[in-house]
Amino acid sequence: MAPKHTLPGLPDKGRCLVMGVVNVTPDSFSDGGAWFDPERAVEHGLRLVAEGADIVDVGGESTRPGAQRVPADEELRRVEPVVRELAAHGVAVSVDTMRAEVAERSVEAGAVLVNDVSGGLADPAMARLVASSGVAYVLMHWRGHSHDMQSRAVYTDVVREVIDELRDRMEAMISAGVDPDQIVLDPGLGFSKRPEQAHNWALLRHLDRFHELGRPVLVAGSRKRFLSRLLSGAEGDRPFVECDAATAALTTLSADRGAWAVRVHDVRSSADAVRVAAAWSDGGAGLDEGRFPRTARGGR
């Protein structure tokens, strides 16, 4: 069983949390830009909360393999109004960004978590911003930007190397003033990890080893290529949007192995899955007449 962690500004439900994804981009691999309009993005975020999301992660820059970066002012234009409106509705909002400027403006708008897929490597100012704001921070394993990250997916022992590189980045952030209690770690599924070499599955199989770093772990495998490859058939890899049942299975297993949270596109199935995992883990001891306790249900 993983140690329990409480993070500043974030809910504590006594179970694995569910982070719902809102991509305010025109070119997301998972939804094709369905929520690019800010009003639709806010509506979608509120719908995810109603379906059981404990946190809503708002991103304005695609990080799919091969994606090119957008200017900072455009990223801000996309995410800031969505973060502000969702926070005004009482939603625990995460901002998915590699830029300190975007993170700072989003925190000012009400975000309580910065989800940085670069682990502080893309912007040297990120550590100072996180340290000074006191905001919770997801530090992901990262080896390079989307346009060339897969060329960097060369490992002798992927589990050990990812753990060591996460430890190095965490120590660097702490040296820059970040409180260890602010940090969440993310193994970076799909980022410089090749599905054909099963890098992602090796990391998931040994998820418990990441607890040796002493920080909560976020698992973000929803609709990623290693799932579509696993489920491939005669017509090729399964479309990303048809991988939600597999994502829910991944959620159940991750929650059972002590993940602090899962980041998913289809919230309802994963909100159910974390409750199944919690009931399974203690044999139903935490249930109230067979029901999940109301205080731990989140948005359901």
Cα dihedral value 291, 296, 299, 300, nearest 10: 0
Candidate list 193, 224, 225, 257, residue with the active-site label: 224
> Residue 102 corresponds to which tokens in the numbers above?
């975007």
3-state secondary structure at position 163: helix
Candidate list 15, 78, 105, 263, residue with the active-site label: 263
Cα dihedral value 136, 141, 144, 145, nearest 10: -50
> Residue 125 corresponds to which tokens in the numbers above?
């100012």
Cα dihedral value 170, 172, 178, 184, nearest 10: -20
Measured CA to CA, the distance from residue 75 to residue 60 in angstroms comes to 5
13 is catalytic: no
What pairs with residue 55 in β-bridges? 19
224 is catalytic: yes
Instruction: Check if the beta carbon of residue 174 is closer than 8 Å to that of residue 213.
Output: no
Instruction: Check if the beta carbon of residue 147 is closer than 8 Å to that of residue 68.
Output: yes
Instruction: Check if the beta carbon of residue 115 is closer than 8 Å to that of residue 139.
Output: no
Instruction: Check if the beta carbon of residue 16 is closer than 8 Å to that of residue 262.
Output: yes
Pairing of strands 55-59, 113-116: unpaired
Which residues carry out catalysis?
A: 224, 263
